[in-house]
Amino acid sequence: MHDIKFIRENPEAFDAALARKGLDPVAAEIIALDARRREALNESQTAQARRNEASKLIGQAMAQKDVATADALKAEVAELKTRLTELEELARTGDAALADRLALLPNLPADDVPDGLDEAGNVEVSRWGDLPQFDFEPKEHADIGPALGMDFETAAKIAGARFTFMRGGIARMNRALGQFMLDAQVERGYNECATPYLVRDEAVFGVGQLPKFAEDLFQTTDGRWLISTSEVSLTNSVREQILTAAELPIRLTALTPCFRSEAGSAGRDTRGLIRQHQFEKVELVTIAAPEHSQMEHARMCAASEAILQALGLPYRKMLLCAGDMGQASRKTFDLEVWLPGQNTYREIASISNCGDYQARRMNTRYRPEGEKGTEFVHTLNGSALAIGRTLVAIVENYQQADGSVRVPEALVPYMGGITVLTP
């Protein structure tokens, strides 16, 4: 959500920031909606004051046996009562119209975010790791995986497209990756959580996924939503709270299944594990004071990068341009892992600083030390990492000519000592 006072006082700056994301100006429309709402409220207050005054004058007129004046005042009070009902409804609908319009708007990009409308405007920040060299033509994971236990056909029979059934060593590696990643983040100071996978409307609204992205989610028959990431549950764990400065930063992590409809992705990544309706992910969420959010963003990036480095997976770090960021983000770094089978880098983690955008939607504040007033917190979230895509990266980077896949050294203890997955 956005601060309506800021929009009223800085309409040109607000529209200019939206233009960086390729959006049309809306400040005038929002200011007009706010003006109508405020006009109704002001008239309502004036009418209520006059009604109170007239009610007192009725008593005085009756005491003086001035029936004509008393009757005129009674008629005025009755008319004011009707008008107040109308004004209250105007104010209510005005509030709702303004809130609905603001709810659809994305966060504004930070000043140091590069301009651009799509991924072509993203900027490479750094690279890590040497690309693997093969004395054979490397294959994609969808071609290697079936012999190792990735069963796409059985999954399709059970659930349809974009699901995978795993068996044996590859299923164990899938589990091992989640445990390894979660342990690593707990060691880095993130508090492990076990969260609900089903949430209410207000939780999905709080992180910015509703109302605009309902089609990207799965909804149950009782109206709840399957989480697309544990960011939803973790971030909303502080909704409608006033935190103390001493409680911040709050650093949380969870390993959960994630569910996405992949609306609009027909024809994209239909083979393999890259784009699934159901997958697992270790998520990081931080609730921080505004002056510390930039530092926490760097900390979170380092936590995600450490997983890729521990697994020996080459990657590059990208700063997303204004037009390629998500709805709630003001600044995002993507980590893209090298996939030799595709001969390209693919996104494996997205780490975002959302500023106070989500906090306003959740009404989450904190009281700075020594201050009577409160301020909105800043929220951050990031993948550390998506399990399926990490599995893809290991299969492709550690593949051998005979179709076997070496197990990264860091995972061997989690694999019961297994060092190679064989067909």
Q: Is 9 annotated as a binding residue?
A: no
The verdict on whether 101 is a catalytic residue reads no
Q: Which of 44, 228, 329, 350 is catalytic?
A: 350
Q: Which of 20, 162, 365, 389 is catalytic?
A: 389
Q: Is 36 annotated as a binding residue?
A: no
Q: Is 55 annotated as a binding residue?
A: no
List the structure tokens of 292: 């510390």
Which residue has 């920040």 as its token pair? Answer: 125
The verdict on whether 265 is a catalytic residue reads no
Phi, psi of 364 (to 5 degrees): -110, 120
Q: Is 229 annotated as a binding residue?
A: yes
Q: Is 291 annotated as a binding residue?
A: no
Where b means 16+ CB within 10 Å and e means fewer, 220-241 reads eeeebbbbbbbbbbbbbbbbee
Q: Is 404 annotated as a binding residue?
A: no
Tell me which DSSP letter residue 150 carries.
E
The verdict on whether 275 is a catalytic residue reads yes
Number of alpha helices (DSSP H) and beta strands (DSSP E) in the chain: 12, 17
Q: Is 361 annotated as a binding residue?
A: no
Question: How does DSSP assign 371-406, residue by residue?
Answer: -SS-EE-EEEEEEEEEHHHHHHHHHHHSB-TTS-EE
Q: Is 231 annotated as a binding residue?
A: yes
The Cα–Cα gap between 47 and 52 comes to 9
Q: Is 230 annotated as a binding residue?
A: yes
Q: Is 265 annotated as a binding residue?
A: no
Q: Which of 260, 360, 361, 365 is catalytic?
A: 260
Q: Is 233 annotated as a binding residue?
A: no
The verdict on whether 192 is a catalytic residue reads no
The verdict on whether 175 is a catalytic residue reads no
Give Cβ neighbours of residue 361 (< 8 Å, ≥ 6 apart). Answer: 1, 103, 205, 206, 207, 208
- From residue 62, how far is each of 57, 68, 69, 282, 301 by CA, in Å? 9, 9, 8, 74, 75
Q: Which of 36, 83, 239, 275 is catalytic?
A: 275
Q: Which of 347, 367, 375, 404 is catalytic?
A: 347
Q: Is 383 annotated as a binding residue?
A: yes
Which residue, 301, 285, 303, is CA-closest to 377?
285
| Active-site annotation, residues | 260, 275, 347, 350, 389
* Residues tagged in the binding site annotation for ATP: 260-262, 347-350
* Residues tagged in the binding site annotation for L-serine: 229-231, 283, 383
